[in-house]
Each structure stands twice: as C-alpha cells, then as structure tokens.
Amino acid sequence: MSASQSAVRSRAEAVKVSRTFDWMILFTLFFVVLGGYHIHYMLTGGDWDFWTDWKDRRLWVTVAPIVSITFPAAVQACLWWRYRLPFGAIVSVLGLLLGEWINRYLNFWGWTYFPVNFCFPSNLIPGAIVLDGILLLSGSMTLTAVLGGLAYGLIFYPGNWPIIAPLHVPVEYNGMVMTLADLQGYNYVRTGTPEYIRMVEKGTLRTFGKDVAPVSAFFSGFVSIIIYFLWHFFGRWFASTKFISGENI
C-alpha cells in the first residue's frame, strides 16, 4: 500500500472506522477530563465539596461554580471550535461527578466510613446543561461566557437545594442550635479537619438580611464569566495543532 492509498476500501468501512475513532476519542476524552478535572476540583473546591457542613450559602455558593466552570469552558472551546459539538460542559461534569462519586463511595465511605449523606458531591449538571444549551443556541462563545457563565453561577444553589435543604433543618443539641449538617460535622470525627478550618458564613455580606445566597450566586456568576473566558482560551490553546505542524497534518 502506498502512502497515497486510502486505508479503507469502501464508504461503509470508512464510516465504521470513523465511528470507532469516535468511541475511542470520546472514551479517552471522558477519562482524561475526569482525572484532570477531578484533581483540579479537589484542590480548589476541596472541603466545600466534600462535606455537608461546608455547603453554606456564602462561600460554597461562590467558590464551587467559579472553580468548576474551568474544564467545561476549556472542553467546550475545543469541541465547538473544532467540531461544532455542544457537549463540552456536560461531558466534563459527567466525568467529574463519576469520579467524585467513585471517590466518595469507595474512599470516604468504603475506606474511612464517613456516611455518604455527609460527603456527597455538589450537583453541577444543571449548570452544565444550560452552558451547553446556550452555546448551541447562540453559537457564540462570547455570549456563552456572559450568559452561560452567569447562569452557571446562578443555577448552582437552587440546583443543589433539594439535596441539602433537609440537612439545614435545625436541631437543639445540648443547649445549642445547630443544623443537621453542622451536627454531622460534629458527630463524625475528622481528626485532621478541626472546626476552625471550616470556612463558612464568613465575609462582609451583612446588608441583605437572611437572603445571602442569591447575592453570593450573582457574584459567583460574574466571576464565572471571567473564568470562562480565561479557560476558554486554555481550551483553544490545547486544541491547537500548531505544536505538531507538518506536511502530513
């Protein structure tokens, strides 16, 4: 076979090879993103995502979207720019959550016996679908950054509230008021995580009464816009083939 000859002999065979490539690339993409995104999110979101007694209405709401919009933005940039595929955000978040759940179930529960109802991950899927949807409908990465980034920050808390609300029911415990989530953190001993490390309800956002979460979510959305832009450029840079330019590319 000479270099100019095709590796396939028919259209059917070409389609088959193409689909095989699709699955191979998708499989690889899924698990590479899972690994990279998981490490990134554990290092930046960390305890806010690990424990229910960190999932507050100020810092968790602010931090989690900002640090989690990164990989979705980068993968979206690559998949949209190169293939017009609007599933970069969801493939990233599905990968992350699969990794998170494996980690929480096998390590946090299976290895160290923290109950799963104390250490489940945050739900990022609604934001990812909206991000992909806006990209598909607008066809614009700028609009996706602005509208999608804002929506990603805004939808995070309401998207998680059905899961965490039952843990915010108050209890009276030995003369003090705590939420059930606080009590989980107190009951289930974390030797290496003393209470003062917990960054919750800190800050100067005191002029909105009890309605802090929407303000935090807006702030998170604004910063998510900036982070989206930044990581979108990372994605484009990684998706470039200039590193391997040559006659045969």
144 binds another protein (CB under 8 A): no
∠ CA 212-121-92, nearest 5°, is 105
Q: How far is the CB of 219 from another protein (least distance, A)?
A: 17
CB-CB contact of 195 with 188 (8 Å): no
User: What element of type H or E holds 177?
Assistant: strand 176-179
Q: How far is the CB of 111 from another protein (least distance, A)?
A: 8
Q: How far is the CB of 119 from another protein (least distance, A)?
A: 10
Per-residue contact track with another protein, 35 to 74, x per CB under 8 A?
------------------x-xxx-----------------
243 binds another protein (CB under 8 A): no
Residue of 31, 32, 101, 240 that binds another protein (CB under 8 A): 101
Residue of 137, 203, 208, 240 that binds another protein (CB under 8 A): 137
Other CB atoms within 10 A of residue 142 CB: 11
Q: Where are the alpha helices (DSSP H) in 69-124?
A: 70-83, 88-102, 116-119
**C-alpha gyration radius of the chain:** 22
Sign (positive or negative) of CA dihedral 8, 11, 16, 21: positive
* Structure tokens belonging to residue 167: 């843990």
Residues 191-230 that bind another protein (CB under 8 A): 191-192, 194-196, 198, 200-202, 210, 212
13 binds another protein (CB under 8 A): no
16 binds another protein (CB under 8 A): no
CB-CB contact of 57 with 213 (8 Å): yes
Residue of 8, 32, 39, 82 that binds another protein (CB under 8 A): 82
Distances (CA, A) of 176 to 170, 172, 210: 10, 6, 20
Residue of 68, 70, 123, 144 that binds another protein (CB under 8 A): 123
Segment interacting with another protein (CB under 8 A) among 39-47, 65-73, 77-85, 227-235: 77-85
Q: Is 179 helix (H, G, I), strand (E, B) or coil?
A: strand
Residues 171-190 that bind another protein (CB under 8 A): 171-184, 186-190
